[in-house]
Protein backbone atom coordinates (compact mmCIF):
# COMPACT_ATOMS: atom_id res chain seq x y z
CA UNK A 1 0.00 0.00 0.00
CA UNK A 2 2.89 2.35 0.78
CA UNK A 3 4.60 1.62 -2.51
CA UNK A 4 1.20 2.35 -4.07
CA UNK A 5 1.12 5.76 -2.36
CA UNK A 6 4.65 6.54 -3.50
CA UNK A 7 4.05 5.36 -7.07
CA UNK A 8 0.64 6.71 -7.89
CA UNK A 9 1.56 10.39 -8.17
CA UNK A 10 4.85 9.58 -9.90
CA UNK A 11 2.93 7.50 -12.43
CA UNK A 12 0.27 10.14 -13.00
CA UNK A 13 2.95 12.76 -13.70
CA UNK A 14 5.24 10.53 -15.72
CA UNK A 15 6.11 10.92 -19.41
CA UNK A 16 3.61 8.21 -20.21
CA UNK A 17 0.72 10.31 -18.95
CA UNK A 18 0.88 12.46 -22.09
CA UNK A 19 0.63 9.30 -24.14
CA UNK A 20 -2.27 8.06 -22.01
CA UNK A 21 -4.05 11.40 -22.37
CA UNK A 22 -3.75 11.14 -26.16
CA UNK A 23 -4.97 7.54 -26.19
CA UNK A 24 -8.05 8.15 -24.05
CA UNK A 25 -8.60 11.70 -25.28
CA UNK A 26 -9.02 10.69 -28.93
CA UNK A 27 -12.34 8.82 -28.54
CA UNK A 28 -13.67 11.64 -26.35
CA UNK A 29 -12.84 14.21 -29.02
CA UNK A 30 -14.34 12.02 -31.73
CA UNK A 31 -17.49 11.53 -29.67
CA UNK A 32 -17.86 15.27 -29.09
CA UNK A 33 -17.25 15.92 -32.78
CA UNK A 34 -19.90 13.37 -33.81
CA UNK A 35 -22.33 14.88 -31.36
CA UNK A 36 -21.70 18.31 -32.79
CA UNK A 37 -22.23 17.08 -36.36
CA UNK A 38 -25.42 15.38 -35.27
CA UNK A 39 -26.62 18.57 -33.62
CA UNK A 40 -26.13 20.37 -36.94
CA UNK A 41 -28.12 17.65 -38.71
CA UNK A 42 -25.16 16.12 -40.59
CA UNK A 43 -25.80 12.53 -41.75
CA UNK A 44 -23.46 10.81 -39.32
CA UNK A 45 -23.21 7.02 -39.55
CA UNK A 46 -25.88 6.48 -42.17
CA UNK A 47 -26.04 2.79 -43.09
CA UNK A 48 -28.46 1.58 -45.80
CA UNK A 49 -30.26 4.91 -45.63
CA UNK A 50 -30.88 4.40 -41.92
CA UNK A 51 -29.18 6.45 -39.29
CA UNK A 52 -27.22 4.43 -36.73
CA UNK A 53 -28.52 4.93 -33.24
CA UNK A 54 -26.31 6.33 -30.48
CA UNK A 55 -26.08 3.06 -28.48
CA UNK A 56 -24.86 1.22 -31.60
CA UNK A 57 -22.19 3.87 -32.25
CA UNK A 58 -21.19 3.70 -28.60
CA UNK A 59 -20.86 -0.10 -28.84
CA UNK A 60 -18.72 0.33 -31.94
CA UNK A 61 -16.47 2.80 -30.14
CA UNK A 62 -16.09 0.47 -27.16
CA UNK A 63 -14.89 -2.28 -29.50
CA UNK A 64 -12.70 -0.24 -31.79
CA UNK A 65 -11.17 2.35 -29.48
CA UNK A 66 -11.19 0.82 -26.06
CA UNK A 67 -11.19 -2.95 -26.24
CA UNK A 68 -8.93 -3.43 -29.22
CA UNK A 69 -6.64 -0.48 -28.65
CA UNK A 70 -6.74 1.55 -25.44
CA UNK A 71 -6.88 -1.30 -22.94
CA UNK A 72 -4.10 -3.50 -24.41
CA UNK A 73 -1.93 -0.51 -25.36
CA UNK A 74 -2.13 1.10 -21.92
CA UNK A 75 -1.54 -2.34 -20.43
CA UNK A 76 1.59 -2.84 -22.48
CA UNK A 77 3.02 0.65 -22.00
CA UNK A 78 2.40 0.84 -18.26
CA UNK A 79 2.62 -2.84 -17.35
CA UNK A 80 6.02 -3.38 -18.92
CA UNK A 81 7.39 -0.25 -17.28
CA UNK A 82 6.37 -0.91 -13.68
CA UNK A 83 9.93 -1.74 -12.65
CA UNK A 84 11.71 -0.72 -15.87
CA UNK A 85 11.03 2.99 -15.33
CA UNK A 86 12.54 2.88 -11.85
CA UNK A 87 15.54 0.99 -13.22
CA UNK A 88 15.97 3.48 -16.06
CA UNK A 89 15.68 6.42 -13.65
CA UNK A 90 17.98 4.59 -11.21
CA UNK A 91 15.52 5.14 -8.37
CA UNK A 92 14.86 1.43 -7.87
CA UNK A 93 17.69 1.29 -5.31
CA UNK A 94 15.66 3.33 -2.85
CA UNK A 95 12.78 0.85 -3.02
CA UNK A 96 14.87 -2.31 -3.01
CA UNK A 97 16.87 -1.29 0.07
CA UNK A 98 13.81 -0.96 2.27
CA UNK A 99 12.43 -3.74 4.47
CA UNK A 100 9.80 -4.93 2.03
CA UNK A 101 10.04 -7.85 -0.41
CA UNK A 102 10.82 -6.85 -3.98
CA UNK A 103 7.67 -8.67 -5.07
CA UNK A 104 5.64 -6.34 -2.86
CA UNK A 105 7.21 -3.38 -4.64
CA UNK A 106 5.95 -4.74 -7.94
CA UNK A 107 2.50 -5.38 -6.48
CA UNK A 108 2.29 -1.82 -5.12
CA UNK A 109 3.31 -0.42 -8.48
CA UNK A 110 0.83 -2.70 -10.28
CA UNK A 111 -2.04 -1.39 -8.17
CA UNK A 112 -0.83 2.16 -8.78
CA UNK A 113 -0.95 1.42 -12.53
CA UNK A 114 -4.47 0.07 -12.18
CA UNK A 115 -5.64 3.09 -10.19
CA UNK A 116 -4.09 5.53 -12.68
CA UNK A 117 -5.47 3.87 -15.79
CA UNK A 118 -8.94 3.33 -14.30
CA UNK A 119 -8.94 6.92 -13.12
CA UNK A 120 -8.39 8.10 -16.68
CA UNK A 121 -10.04 5.45 -18.88
CA UNK A 122 -13.36 5.00 -17.09
CA UNK A 123 -14.28 8.72 -17.00
CA UNK A 124 -13.39 8.89 -20.70
CA UNK A 125 -15.86 6.06 -21.43
CA UNK A 126 -18.55 7.83 -19.42
CA UNK A 127 -18.01 11.05 -21.39
CA UNK A 128 -18.24 9.13 -24.66
CA UNK A 129 -21.41 7.43 -23.40
CA UNK A 130 -23.01 10.72 -22.39
CA UNK A 131 -22.09 12.30 -25.73
CA UNK A 132 -23.05 9.50 -28.10
CA UNK A 133 -25.88 7.45 -26.63
CA UNK A 134 -28.49 10.28 -26.53
CA UNK A 135 -28.24 10.46 -30.36
CA UNK A 136 -31.42 8.55 -31.20
CA UNK A 137 -30.95 6.49 -28.06
CA UNK A 138 -31.90 6.44 -24.44
CA UNK A 139 -29.37 6.92 -21.64
CA UNK A 140 -31.43 4.96 -19.15
CA UNK A 141 -32.00 2.00 -21.45
CA UNK A 142 -28.27 1.66 -22.17
CA UNK A 143 -27.10 2.26 -18.62
CA UNK A 144 -26.68 -1.43 -17.82
CA UNK A 145 -24.50 -1.84 -20.91
CA UNK A 146 -22.38 1.07 -19.72
CA UNK A 147 -21.84 -0.62 -16.37
CA UNK A 148 -20.92 -3.85 -18.14
CA UNK A 149 -18.52 -1.94 -20.38
CA UNK A 150 -16.87 -0.22 -17.43
CA UNK A 151 -16.48 -3.54 -15.61
CA UNK A 152 -15.15 -5.18 -18.74
CA UNK A 153 -12.56 -2.48 -19.36
CA UNK A 154 -11.48 -2.56 -15.71
CA UNK A 155 -10.99 -6.33 -15.95
CA UNK A 156 -9.13 -5.87 -19.23
CA UNK A 157 -6.75 -3.31 -17.73
CA UNK A 158 -6.17 -5.56 -14.72
CA UNK A 159 -5.47 -8.70 -16.75
CA UNK A 160 -3.38 -7.09 -19.49
CA UNK A 161 -1.49 -5.19 -16.78
CA UNK A 162 -0.64 -8.46 -15.01
CA UNK A 163 0.48 -10.14 -18.24
CA UNK A 164 2.68 -7.21 -19.20
CA UNK A 165 4.02 -6.82 -15.66
CA UNK A 166 5.33 -10.36 -16.06
CA UNK A 167 6.73 -9.61 -19.52
CA UNK A 168 8.34 -6.46 -18.08
CA UNK A 169 9.92 -8.43 -15.27
CA UNK A 170 11.10 -11.32 -17.40
CA UNK A 171 12.18 -10.06 -20.82
CA UNK A 172 14.96 -7.76 -21.95
CA UNK A 173 12.88 -5.84 -24.49
CA UNK A 174 9.48 -5.99 -22.82
CA UNK A 175 7.79 -3.26 -24.85
CA UNK A 176 8.63 -4.99 -28.12
CA UNK A 177 7.53 -8.36 -26.76
CA UNK A 178 4.31 -6.77 -25.45
CA UNK A 179 3.49 -5.08 -28.76
CA UNK A 180 4.11 -8.33 -30.63
CA UNK A 181 1.81 -10.07 -28.15
CA UNK A 182 -1.14 -7.71 -28.66
CA UNK A 183 -0.79 -6.80 -32.32
CA UNK A 184 0.78 -10.02 -33.53
CA UNK A 185 -0.05 -13.05 -31.45
CA UNK A 186 -3.53 -12.08 -30.24
CA UNK A 187 -4.72 -10.90 -33.66
CA UNK A 188 -3.36 -13.98 -35.42
CA UNK A 189 -4.60 -16.48 -32.82
CA UNK A 190 -8.12 -15.03 -32.92
CA UNK A 191 -8.23 -15.26 -36.71
CA UNK A 192 -7.58 -19.00 -36.84
CA UNK A 193 -10.05 -21.72 -35.95
CA UNK A 194 -8.99 -24.08 -33.19
CA UNK A 195 -7.71 -23.81 -29.65
CA UNK A 196 -4.94 -21.22 -30.14
CA UNK A 197 -7.28 -18.35 -29.32
CA UNK A 198 -7.61 -19.78 -25.81
CA UNK A 199 -4.06 -18.59 -25.21
CA UNK A 200 -5.06 -14.96 -25.59
CA UNK A 201 -6.60 -12.48 -23.17
CA UNK A 202 -8.78 -10.98 -25.90
CA UNK A 203 -10.65 -14.26 -26.44
CA UNK A 204 -12.10 -14.19 -22.92
CA UNK A 205 -12.46 -10.43 -22.76
CA UNK A 206 -14.33 -10.11 -26.05
CA UNK A 207 -16.76 -12.81 -24.96
CA UNK A 208 -18.07 -10.47 -22.29
CA UNK A 209 -18.75 -7.46 -24.54
CA UNK A 210 -22.46 -6.57 -24.55
CA UNK A 211 -22.25 -5.06 -28.07
CA UNK A 212 -22.09 -6.75 -31.47
CA UNK A 213 -18.59 -7.22 -32.86
CA UNK A 214 -17.92 -4.84 -35.77
CA UNK A 215 -16.51 -6.14 -39.06
CA UNK A 216 -14.46 -3.06 -39.80
CA UNK A 217 -11.43 -4.75 -41.34
CA UNK A 218 -10.41 -7.96 -43.09
CA UNK A 219 -8.85 -9.27 -39.87
CA UNK A 220 -11.96 -8.56 -37.80
CA UNK A 221 -14.13 -10.07 -40.56
CA UNK A 222 -12.11 -13.30 -40.37
CA UNK A 223 -12.11 -13.14 -36.57
CA UNK A 224 -15.89 -12.72 -36.70
CA UNK A 225 -16.29 -15.80 -38.92
CA UNK A 226 -14.29 -18.02 -36.56
CA UNK A 227 -15.56 -16.37 -33.43
CA UNK A 228 -16.71 -18.67 -30.70
CA UNK A 229 -17.48 -17.28 -27.31
CA UNK A 230 -16.91 -18.95 -23.99
CA UNK A 231 -19.58 -18.40 -21.37
CA UNK A 232 -19.42 -15.40 -19.06
CA UNK A 233 -18.49 -17.57 -16.09
CA UNK A 234 -15.81 -19.41 -18.04
CA UNK A 235 -14.36 -16.11 -19.25
CA UNK A 236 -14.30 -14.64 -15.77
CA UNK A 237 -12.67 -17.74 -14.30
CA UNK A 238 -9.98 -17.80 -16.98
CA UNK A 239 -9.31 -14.08 -16.73
CA UNK A 240 -9.01 -14.36 -12.95
CA UNK A 241 -6.63 -17.28 -13.37
CA UNK A 242 -4.49 -15.38 -15.92
CA UNK A 243 -4.40 -12.35 -13.62
CA UNK A 244 -3.38 -14.39 -10.59
CA UNK A 245 -0.78 -16.56 -12.34
CA UNK A 246 0.93 -13.73 -14.21
CA UNK A 247 0.96 -11.37 -11.25
CA UNK A 248 2.50 -14.04 -9.01
CA UNK A 249 4.99 -14.96 -11.74
CA UNK A 250 5.93 -11.30 -12.17
CA UNK A 251 6.44 -10.85 -8.42
CA UNK A 252 8.52 -14.04 -8.22
CA UNK A 253 10.61 -12.93 -11.19
CA UNK A 254 11.32 -9.51 -9.68
CA UNK A 255 12.15 -11.17 -6.37
CA UNK A 256 14.90 -13.28 -7.95
CA UNK A 257 16.23 -10.81 -10.48
CA UNK A 258 19.33 -8.65 -10.05
CA UNK A 259 18.98 -5.13 -11.42
CA UNK A 260 22.30 -3.78 -12.59
CA UNK A 261 22.08 -0.03 -13.01
CA UNK A 262 24.27 1.57 -15.64
CA UNK A 263 26.87 3.86 -14.12
CA UNK B 1 20.24 -12.73 17.60
CA UNK B 2 23.06 -12.04 15.14
CA UNK B 3 22.03 -8.41 14.83
CA UNK B 4 22.10 -8.06 18.65
CA UNK B 5 25.62 -9.48 18.72
CA UNK B 6 26.68 -6.91 16.15
CA UNK B 7 25.12 -4.15 18.19
CA UNK B 8 27.16 -5.39 21.16
CA UNK B 9 30.24 -5.09 18.96
CA UNK B 10 31.15 -8.77 18.99
CA UNK B 11 30.47 -9.65 15.37
CA UNK B 12 31.78 -8.04 12.17
CA UNK B 13 29.14 -5.87 10.50
CA UNK B 14 29.97 -7.36 7.12
CA UNK B 15 31.69 -10.59 6.22
CA UNK B 16 32.50 -11.72 2.71
CA UNK B 17 33.87 -15.20 2.14
CA UNK B 18 35.47 -15.95 -1.21
CA UNK B 19 33.04 -13.63 -2.92
CA UNK B 20 33.24 -13.20 -6.67
CA UNK B 21 30.89 -11.33 -8.94
CA UNK B 22 30.85 -11.56 -12.71
CA UNK B 23 28.88 -9.46 -15.14
CA UNK B 24 28.89 -11.82 -18.08
CA UNK B 25 32.54 -12.02 -19.07
CA UNK B 26 33.55 -9.03 -16.94
CA UNK B 27 34.71 -9.65 -13.42
CA UNK B 28 33.55 -7.11 -10.86
CA UNK B 29 34.90 -8.71 -7.71
CA UNK B 30 37.42 -11.52 -7.55
CA UNK B 31 37.52 -13.98 -4.63
CA UNK B 32 37.21 -11.38 -1.91
CA UNK B 33 37.30 -12.47 1.73
CA UNK B 34 37.00 -9.70 4.24
CA UNK B 35 35.52 -8.86 7.65
CA UNK B 36 34.44 -5.34 8.36
CA UNK B 37 34.49 -4.56 12.08
CA UNK B 38 31.96 -2.28 13.80
CA UNK B 39 32.85 1.42 13.59
CA UNK B 40 33.66 3.60 10.62
CA UNK B 41 35.40 1.86 7.72
CA UNK B 42 36.50 3.50 4.51
CA UNK B 43 36.39 1.63 1.22
CA UNK B 44 39.03 3.20 -0.94
CA UNK B 45 39.72 2.52 -4.57
CA UNK B 46 39.76 4.13 -8.00
CA UNK B 47 36.74 4.03 -10.30
CA UNK B 48 36.21 0.56 -11.69
CA UNK B 49 38.07 -1.00 -8.77
CA UNK B 50 34.99 -2.91 -7.58
CA UNK B 51 33.81 -0.50 -4.88
CA UNK B 52 30.30 -0.17 -6.25
CA UNK B 53 30.04 -3.90 -6.83
CA UNK B 54 31.09 -4.51 -3.24
CA UNK B 55 28.57 -1.91 -2.04
CA UNK B 56 25.78 -3.50 -4.09
CA UNK B 57 26.63 -6.95 -2.78
CA UNK B 58 26.58 -5.85 0.84
CA UNK B 59 23.30 -3.99 0.33
CA UNK B 60 21.68 -7.05 -1.25
CA UNK B 61 21.16 -5.46 -4.64
CA UNK B 62 23.35 -8.08 -6.27
CA UNK B 63 23.77 -11.77 -5.54
CA UNK B 64 27.34 -13.05 -5.43
CA UNK B 65 28.25 -15.29 -8.36
CA UNK B 66 30.33 -17.24 -5.84
CA UNK B 67 30.82 -17.09 -2.08
CA UNK B 68 28.75 -15.70 0.77
CA UNK B 69 28.01 -12.20 1.96
CA UNK B 70 26.66 -11.67 5.45
CA UNK B 71 25.60 -8.35 6.90
CA UNK B 72 25.03 -8.01 10.65
CA UNK B 73 25.50 -11.77 10.83
CA UNK B 74 22.81 -12.72 8.30
CA UNK B 75 22.82 -13.34 4.54
CA UNK B 76 21.68 -10.13 2.87
CA UNK B 77 20.42 -11.43 -0.49
CA UNK B 78 16.60 -11.70 -0.41
CA UNK B 79 16.50 -10.84 3.27
CA UNK B 80 14.50 -7.58 3.34
CA UNK B 81 14.07 -7.72 7.10
CA UNK B 82 17.73 -6.67 7.45
CA UNK B 83 16.97 -3.29 5.91
CA UNK B 84 15.43 -2.22 9.20
CA UNK B 85 19.05 -2.10 10.41
CA UNK B 86 20.73 -0.81 7.25
CA UNK B 87 20.68 2.60 5.62
CA UNK B 88 22.10 2.97 2.13
CA UNK B 89 23.10 6.16 0.35
CA UNK B 90 23.75 5.21 -3.28
CA UNK B 91 26.20 6.90 -5.60
CA UNK B 92 23.76 7.69 -8.40
CA UNK B 93 22.23 11.14 -8.54
CA UNK B 94 18.67 9.87 -9.03
CA UNK B 95 15.48 11.07 -7.37
CA UNK B 96 11.76 11.60 -7.78
CA UNK B 97 12.46 15.17 -8.82
CA UNK B 98 8.88 16.35 -8.52
CA UNK B 99 8.73 15.53 -4.82
CA UNK B 100 10.01 17.84 -2.12
CA UNK B 101 12.84 16.62 0.09
CA UNK B 102 10.44 16.14 2.98
CA UNK B 103 7.87 14.26 0.89
CA UNK B 104 10.53 11.97 -0.52
CA UNK B 105 12.21 11.08 2.75
CA UNK B 106 8.83 10.66 4.42
CA UNK B 107 7.53 8.39 1.66
CA UNK B 108 10.64 6.21 1.81
CA UNK B 109 10.62 5.80 5.58
CA UNK B 110 6.95 4.85 5.38
CA UNK B 111 8.21 1.72 3.64
CA UNK B 112 9.89 0.86 6.95
CA UNK B 113 6.45 0.50 8.47
CA UNK B 114 6.17 3.89 10.14
CA UNK B 115 2.81 5.62 10.40
CA UNK B 116 2.26 8.90 8.57
CA UNK B 117 2.92 10.89 11.74
CA UNK B 118 5.99 8.88 12.78
CA UNK B 119 7.33 9.11 9.23
CA UNK B 120 6.87 12.86 9.19
CA UNK B 121 8.72 13.28 12.48
CA UNK B 122 11.52 10.94 11.44
CA UNK B 123 11.90 12.69 8.07
CA UNK B 124 12.13 16.09 9.72
CA UNK B 125 14.74 14.79 12.18
CA UNK B 126 16.81 13.28 9.36
CA UNK B 127 16.63 16.42 7.24
CA UNK B 128 17.63 18.51 10.25
CA UNK B 129 20.56 16.15 10.87
CA UNK B 130 21.91 16.82 7.38
CA UNK B 131 21.15 20.53 7.71
CA UNK B 132 18.48 20.54 5.03
CA UNK B 133 15.37 21.56 6.96
CA UNK B 134 15.28 24.99 5.33
CA UNK B 135 14.97 23.40 1.90
CA UNK B 136 12.71 20.56 3.02
CA UNK B 137 9.71 22.07 1.24
CA UNK B 138 11.54 22.66 -2.04
CA UNK B 139 11.30 20.24 -4.93
CA UNK B 140 14.34 17.98 -5.19
CA UNK B 141 14.64 18.94 -8.86
CA UNK B 142 15.59 22.44 -7.70
CA UNK B 143 18.27 21.24 -5.25
CA UNK B 144 21.98 21.87 -5.80
CA UNK B 145 24.30 18.89 -6.11
CA UNK B 146 25.34 19.21 -2.48
CA UNK B 147 21.73 19.35 -1.30
CA UNK B 148 20.91 16.30 -3.38
CA UNK B 149 23.76 14.43 -1.71
CA UNK B 150 22.49 15.47 1.68
CA UNK B 151 18.88 14.46 1.01
CA UNK B 152 20.20 11.05 -0.07
CA UNK B 153 21.99 10.83 3.26
CA UNK B 154 18.79 11.81 5.03
CA UNK B 155 16.84 8.93 3.45
CA UNK B 156 19.65 6.57 4.49
CA UNK B 157 19.61 7.56 8.16
CA UNK B 158 15.91 8.40 8.57
CA UNK B 159 15.04 5.06 10.17
CA UNK B 160 17.99 5.25 12.58
CA UNK B 161 19.82 2.19 11.21
CA UNK B 162 22.63 0.38 12.96
CA UNK B 163 24.74 0.21 9.79
CA UNK B 164 25.08 3.04 7.29
CA UNK B 165 26.50 2.28 3.87
CA UNK B 166 27.49 5.43 2.00
CA UNK B 167 28.66 5.23 -1.59
CA UNK B 168 30.78 8.29 -2.48
CA UNK B 169 28.74 10.61 -0.22
CA UNK B 170 31.00 13.61 -0.73
CA UNK B 171 31.04 13.51 -4.53
CA UNK B 172 30.27 16.93 -5.96
CA UNK B 173 29.73 18.65 -2.62
CA UNK B 174 30.98 22.16 -1.97
CA UNK B 175 33.77 22.53 0.63
CA UNK B 176 31.49 23.53 3.47
CA UNK B 177 29.09 20.71 2.72
CA UNK B 178 32.02 18.29 2.69
CA UNK B 179 33.25 19.49 6.04
CA UNK B 180 29.76 19.19 7.56
CA UNK B 181 29.24 15.73 6.11
CA UNK B 182 32.61 14.50 7.32
CA UNK B 183 31.78 15.80 10.78
CA UNK B 184 28.38 14.07 10.64
CA UNK B 185 29.95 10.75 9.71
CA UNK B 186 32.49 11.05 12.51
CA UNK B 187 29.71 11.92 14.97
CA UNK B 188 27.65 8.93 13.92
CA UNK B 189 30.69 6.72 14.37
CA UNK B 190 31.24 8.14 17.84
CA UNK B 191 27.56 7.55 18.62
CA UNK B 192 28.13 3.85 18.08
CA UNK B 193 26.90 3.42 14.54
CA UNK B 194 28.79 1.35 12.04
CA UNK B 195 29.49 3.10 8.77
CA UNK B 196 31.02 1.85 5.55
CA UNK B 197 31.89 4.77 3.34
CA UNK B 198 33.43 4.56 -0.11
CA UNK B 199 35.55 7.10 -1.88
CA UNK B 200 38.31 7.34 -4.42
CA UNK B 201 39.92 10.16 -2.45
CA UNK B 202 42.21 9.08 0.35
CA UNK B 203 42.08 12.41 2.14
CA UNK B 204 38.31 12.24 2.43
CA UNK B 205 38.45 8.79 3.94
CA UNK B 206 41.32 9.76 6.19
CA UNK B 207 39.31 12.63 7.62
CA UNK B 208 36.56 10.21 8.66
CA UNK B 209 38.38 7.13 9.85
CA UNK B 210 41.75 5.44 10.07
CA UNK B 211 40.31 2.04 9.23
CA UNK B 212 40.27 1.35 5.51
CA UNK B 213 39.77 -1.35 2.94
CA UNK B 214 41.88 -0.79 -0.13
CA UNK B 215 40.30 -2.22 -3.27
CA UNK B 216 41.59 -2.41 -6.82
CA UNK B 217 40.88 -4.59 -9.84
CA UNK B 218 38.14 -6.41 -7.94
CA UNK B 219 40.41 -7.47 -5.08
CA UNK B 220 40.94 -6.19 -1.55
CA UNK B 221 44.59 -5.17 -1.55
CA UNK B 222 44.91 -4.17 2.06
CA UNK B 223 42.86 -3.57 5.15
CA UNK B 224 43.82 -1.67 8.26
CA UNK B 225 45.38 1.65 9.12
CA UNK B 226 45.13 4.46 6.61
CA UNK B 227 48.28 6.26 7.68
CA UNK B 228 50.68 3.89 5.97
CA UNK B 229 48.84 4.43 2.70
CA UNK B 230 48.81 8.13 3.28
CA UNK B 231 52.58 8.31 3.42
CA UNK B 232 52.64 6.81 -0.04
CA UNK B 233 50.09 9.15 -1.54
CA UNK B 234 51.90 12.23 -0.34
CA UNK B 235 54.66 11.40 -2.77
CA UNK B 236 52.21 11.78 -5.61
CA UNK B 237 50.66 15.03 -6.79
CA UNK B 238 46.93 15.29 -6.13
CA UNK B 239 44.59 16.94 -8.60
CA UNK B 240 41.54 18.88 -7.45
CA UNK B 241 38.83 20.32 -9.72
CA UNK B 242 37.21 23.41 -8.20
CA UNK B 243 34.08 24.78 -9.86
CA UNK B 244 33.58 28.35 -8.72
CA UNK B 245 31.69 31.51 -9.51
CA UNK B 246 34.95 33.32 -10.19
CA UNK B 247 37.69 30.74 -10.86
CA UNK B 248 40.38 33.36 -11.59
CA UNK B 249 39.89 35.07 -8.26
CA UNK B 250 40.04 31.74 -6.48
CA UNK B 251 43.18 30.81 -8.43
CA UNK B 252 44.84 34.09 -7.56
CA UNK B 253 44.31 33.40 -3.88
CA UNK B 254 45.74 29.89 -4.30
CA UNK B 255 48.94 31.39 -5.69
CA UNK B 256 49.09 34.40 -3.37
CA UNK B 257 49.09 32.36 -0.24
CA UNK B 258 52.36 31.43 1.36
CA UNK B 259 51.44 27.87 2.24
CA UNK B 260 53.14 26.62 -0.91
CA UNK B 261 50.67 23.78 -1.37
CA UNK B 262 49.89 24.41 -5.05
CA UNK B 263 52.23 22.93 -7.61
CA UNK B 264 50.38 24.01 -10.73
CA UNK B 265 47.00 25.10 -11.93
CA UNK B 266 45.03 25.38 -15.14
CA UNK B 267 41.64 26.75 -16.09
CA UNK B 268 38.62 24.97 -17.48
CA UNK B 269 35.26 26.60 -18.27
CA UNK B 270 33.91 27.81 -14.92
CA UNK B 271 36.56 25.97 -12.97
CA UNK B 272 40.18 25.81 -11.94
CA UNK B 273 42.10 22.54 -11.77
CA UNK B 274 44.84 22.52 -9.14
CA UNK B 275 47.71 20.11 -8.64
CA UNK B 276 48.81 20.02 -5.03
CA UNK B 277 51.58 18.25 -3.20
CA UNK B 278 49.97 18.85 0.17
CA UNK B 279 46.31 17.88 -0.14
CA UNK B 280 45.48 18.24 3.56
CA UNK B 281 46.68 21.82 3.72
CA UNK B 282 45.06 22.61 0.40
CA UNK B 283 41.63 21.23 1.38
CA UNK B 284 41.74 23.07 4.71
CA UNK B 285 42.58 26.32 2.94
CA UNK B 286 39.87 25.76 0.34
CA UNK B 287 37.26 25.21 3.03
CA UNK B 288 38.32 28.42 4.81
CA UNK B 289 38.13 30.31 1.53
CA UNK B 290 34.62 28.99 0.86
CA UNK B 291 33.50 29.80 4.40
CA UNK B 292 34.85 33.37 4.18
CA UNK B 293 32.72 34.08 1.10
CA UNK B 294 35.33 36.58 -0.13
CA UNK B 295 36.08 34.68 -3.31
CA UNK B 296 32.53 34.15 -4.61
CA UNK B 297 30.67 30.87 -4.44
CA UNK B 298 32.72 27.69 -4.60
CA UNK B 299 30.15 25.29 -5.99
CA UNK B 300 31.84 21.97 -6.39
CA UNK B 301 35.06 20.23 -5.50
CA UNK B 302 35.96 16.94 -7.11
CA UNK B 303 39.12 14.96 -7.50
CA UNK B 304 39.69 12.72 -10.47
CA UNK B 305 40.80 9.29 -9.42
CA UNK B 306 43.97 9.29 -11.49
CA UNK B 307 45.81 10.39 -8.31
CA UNK B 308 44.77 7.29 -6.54
CA UNK B 309 45.33 5.16 -9.60
CA UNK B 310 48.97 6.28 -9.53
CA UNK B 311 49.26 5.18 -5.92
CA UNK B 312 47.67 1.86 -6.71
CA UNK B 313 50.06 1.28 -9.56
CA UNK B 314 52.84 2.05 -7.13
CA UNK B 315 51.36 -0.28 -4.52
CA UNK B 316 50.85 -3.24 -6.80
CA UNK B 317 54.20 -2.98 -8.55
- In this structure, the strands spanning A50-51 and A46-47 are antiparallel
C-alpha B268/C-alpha B276 separation (Å) is: 17
Give B260-267's long-range contacts (Cβ < 8 A, gap of 24+).
B261/B285, B263/B237
Average pLDDT on B10-35 reads 90
Beta bridge partners of B69: B16
Same domain as B54, residue B172 = yes
Q: How far off is chain B from A25, nearest CA to CA, in Å?
A: 25
C-alpha A92/C-alpha A258 separation (Å) is: 11
CATH number at residue B182: 3.40.50.300
Do A170 and A28 meet the contact criterion of CB atoms below 8 Å apart? Answer: no
Same domain as B114, residue B262 = no
B264: three-class secondary structure by DSSP: strand
pLDDT of residue B1: 47
Set of chain B residues whose Cβ sits within 8 Å of the Cβ of A261: 92
Q: How far is CA A231 from CA A204, A211, A228, B312, in A?
A: 9, 15, 10, 72
C-alpha B76/C-alpha A85 separation (Å) is: 25
Closest chain A CA to residue B53: A260
Set of chain A residues whose Cβ sits within 8 Å of the Cβ of B54: none
Which ipTM score applies to this complex? Answer: 0.80
Q: Which one of B62, B84, B98 has the shortest CB-CB distance to A99?
A: B84
Q: Which residue blocks in chain B are alpha helix, DSSP H?
A: 2-7, 51-58, 101-110, 116-129, 145-157, 175-190, 202-208, 226-233, 247-256, 279-292, 306-316
A102/B contact by beta carbon, under 8 A: yes
Domain extent for B139: 2-231
Cβ contacts of B284 within 8 Å, gap of 6 or more: none
Choose one of B183, B198, B231: the last residue of a domain: B231
Count structural domains, chain B.
2
A93/B contact by beta carbon, under 8 A: yes
Give A15-66 pLDDT, tens digit per residue: 778 888 888 899 999 999 988 888 887 776 666 666 778 888 888 889 889 9
Most confident by average pLDDT, A81-90, A241-250, B29-38, B170-179: A241-250
Q: Do A89 and B81 touch (CB under 8 A)?
A: no
Task: Write phi, then psi, for A203 (nearest 5 degrees).
Answer: -55, -45
Q: Which of residues 116-155 of B touch A (CB under 8 A)?
A: 155
Q: Which one of B80, B81, B94 has the shortest CB-CB distance to A89?
A: B94
Set of chain B residues whose Cβ sits within 8 Å of the Cβ of A260: 23, 62
Q: Which residue blocks in A40-142 are alpha helix, DSSP H?
A: 54-61, 71-79, 84-88, 92-96, 102-132
Set of chain B residues whose Cβ sits within 8 Å of the Cβ of A263: 52, 91-92
pTM higher than 0.90, yes or no? Answer: no
Choose one of B190, B211, B231: the last residue of a domain: B231
Closest chain B CA to residue A10: B96
Q: CB-hemisphere CA count at 13 Å for B229?
A: 31
Same domain as B120, residue B253 = no
CATH number at residue B265: 3.30.70.260
Count of positions (residues) in chain A:
263
Choose one of B212, B231, B250: the last residue of a domain: B231
Confidence of residue B132 (pLDDT cuts 50, 70, 90): very high
Same domain as B125, residue B6 = yes
Closest chain B CA to residue A252: B78
Amino acid sequence: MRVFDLSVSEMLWSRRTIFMALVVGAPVLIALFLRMLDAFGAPVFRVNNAMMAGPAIFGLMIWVFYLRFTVPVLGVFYGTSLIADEVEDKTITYLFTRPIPKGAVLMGKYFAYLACTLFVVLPSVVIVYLSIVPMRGNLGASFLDLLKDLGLLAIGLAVYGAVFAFIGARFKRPLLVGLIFIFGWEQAALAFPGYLKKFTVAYYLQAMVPHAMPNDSVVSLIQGVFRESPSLVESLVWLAAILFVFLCAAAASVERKEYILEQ
Amino acid sequence: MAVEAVVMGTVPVVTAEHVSKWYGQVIGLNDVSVSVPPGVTGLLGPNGAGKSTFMKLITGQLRPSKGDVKVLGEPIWRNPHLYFQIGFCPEQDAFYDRMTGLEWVRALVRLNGLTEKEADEAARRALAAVDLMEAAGKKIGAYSKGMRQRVKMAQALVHDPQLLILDEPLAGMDPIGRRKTIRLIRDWGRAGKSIIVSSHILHEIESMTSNILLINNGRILAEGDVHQIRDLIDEHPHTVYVRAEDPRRVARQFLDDTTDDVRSLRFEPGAVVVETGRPDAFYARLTDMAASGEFGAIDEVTSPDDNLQAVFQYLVK
